[in-house]
């Protein structure tokens, strides 16, 4: 039996319709959208438009033109930060950012003198919002990870966005871990920018993602090139999404993302979330029942994403992941998960942790198999306290 529990890295498997849609586009169309006035090119254009609309449905956005496609969340975050921030700007940022956010911010700190203020958080990831209003003073952009890929905590987005709006500070949300798996409604929580990746909770292929960019907010472009129209101008078009989508897009990927988004809309994000909560309840109960296991982040399954990071007494994270793979066929990820900030909060920056992350296609049997394996591994290691 093999069990895939690395869905926070990338969801696997994908819905059947995703595989079919990619092959159908490749074999049955294969044209470049917005680049020709023949039926196949128009169909490809229509496919991209329908995918923007489906993403609006999942995110609660109003206008397809507010969805800019990128190759992943990392590119979307870079587009937002580097396109928006000017020299000397102050940024308020949550304390458990992924390197997709942290590294571009550190680069901007070095190159543009951007100043970073960390929103204080407790070791389980809960953000301390008591001083939020004061902290927003003089801030040009608030950058908020919607959910941590290590702690599994969910950021109180509604409170942060509403305080930021009151203070006139735009908000960029990193929804890499939440889009598709956790409800997001941009018409209620009016964030200004939101980065998503297509291959995690959205269940699409790698190489897809995007930035929701609120209408009226303009960024400097990160790249310039052909956009299919207005070719006589030496400048990128003014209007989104074309302005930001220079170069031929990953249409095969977008075809897959379209099928994935339709699957999510048909299944319902709430139902996906309920299934993941059930699996997480079982997983947390199992971890609680094994002596020699410590896990991090919120205690309750419904307060966390479908992932948990943990350590075992007497077995390093890397060794545990190796044994799980080689002896039990269980795929999890060990290390710092590209988020040293989160590990710093947990106090595991030197040792890392093992992370198990569930997806819509995992079953209770998968969780039983993991818990059984962890019980045997800790028993063989002699129990004790993990730290």
Footprint on this chain of ligand PLP (rule: CB under 6 A): 72-74, 98, 100, 145, 149, 174, 176-177, 197, 209, 338
- The encoded tokens of residue 312 equal 């075992």
Nearer to ligand PLP by C-beta: 194 or 324? 194
Nearer to ligand PLP by C-beta: 99 or 375? 99
Q: Give long-range contacts, CB 8 A cutoff, 24+ apart: 130-139.
A: 132/159, 132/160, 132/163, 133/163, 133/166, 133/167, 135/92, 136/92, 136/163, 136/164, 136/167, 136/169, 137/167, 138/90, 139/90, 139/91, 139/92, 139/167, 139/169
Minimum distance of ligand PLP from residue 340's CB (angstroms):
13
Helical (H) or strand (E) element with 286: helix 269-289
Angle between helices 269-289 and 251-267 (to 10 degrees): 80
Minimum distance of ligand PLP from residue 293's CB (angstroms):
23
Nearer to ligand PLP by C-beta: 201 or 241? 201
DSSP calls for 369-383 = HHHHHHHHHHHHHT-
Minimum distance of ligand PLP from residue 97's CB (angstroms):
7
Nearer to ligand PLP by C-beta: 29 or 148? 148
Minimum distance of ligand PLP from residue 100's CB (angstroms):
4
Q: Which residues are catalytic?
A: 338
Segments of the chain assigned E as strands: 3-4, 67-70, 90-94, 115-119, 141-145, 171-174, 193-197, 209-213, 293-295, 307-312, 330-331, 333-335, 353-357
Minimum distance of ligand PLP from residue 71's CB (angstroms):
8
- The encoded tokens of residue 7 equal 């869905």
Nearer to ligand PLP by C-beta: 34 or 104? 104
């Amino acid at each position: 039996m093999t069990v895939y529990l690395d869905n926070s890295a990338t969801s696997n498997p994908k819905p059947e319709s995703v595989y079919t849609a990619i092959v159908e586009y490749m074999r049955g169309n294969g044209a470049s959208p917005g680049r020709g006035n023949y039926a196949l090119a128009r169909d490809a254009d229509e496919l991209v438009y329908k995918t923007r609309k489906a993403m609006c449905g999942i995110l609660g956005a109003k206008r397809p033109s507010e969805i800019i496609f990128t190759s992943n969340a990392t590119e979307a975050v870079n587009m937002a930060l580097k396109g928006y921030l000017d020299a000397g700007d102050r940024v308020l940022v949550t304390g458990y950012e992924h390197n997709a956010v942290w590294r571009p911010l550190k680069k901007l700190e070095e190159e543009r003198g951007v100043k970073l203020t960390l929103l204080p958080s407790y070791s389980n990831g809960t953000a301390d919002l008591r001083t939020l209003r004061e902290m927003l003073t003089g801030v040009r952009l608030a950058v908020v990870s919607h959910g941590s890929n290590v702690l599994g905590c969910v950021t109180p987005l509604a409170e942060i966005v509403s305080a930021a709006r009151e203070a006139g500070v735009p908000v960029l949300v990193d929804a890499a871990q939440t889009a598709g798996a956790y409800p997001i409604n941009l018409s209620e929580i009016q964030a200004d920018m939101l980065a998503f990746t297509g291959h995690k909770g959205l269940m699409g292929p790698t190489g897809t993602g995007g930035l929701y960019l609120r209408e009226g907010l303009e960024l400097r472009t990160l790249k310039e090139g052909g956009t299919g129209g207005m070719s006589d101008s030496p400048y990128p078009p003014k209007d989104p999404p074309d302005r930001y989508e220079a170069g031929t897009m990953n249409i095969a990927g977008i075809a897959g993302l379209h099928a994935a988004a339709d699957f999510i809309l048909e299944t319902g994000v709430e139902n996906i979330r309920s299934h993941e909560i059930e699996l997480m309840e079982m997983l947390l109960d199992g971890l609680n029942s094994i002596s020699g296991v410590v896990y991090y982040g919120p205690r309750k399954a419904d307060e966390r994403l479908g992932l948990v990071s943990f350590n075992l007494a007497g077995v390093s994270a890397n060794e545990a992941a190796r044994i799980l793979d080689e002896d039990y066929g269980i795929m999890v990820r060990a290390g710092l998960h590209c988020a040293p900030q989160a590990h710093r909060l947990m106090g595991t920056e030197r040792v890392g942790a093992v992370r198990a992350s569930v997806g819509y296609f995992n079953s209770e049997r998968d969780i039983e198999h993991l818990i059984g394996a962890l019980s045997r591994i800790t028993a063989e290691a002699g129990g004790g306290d993990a730290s």
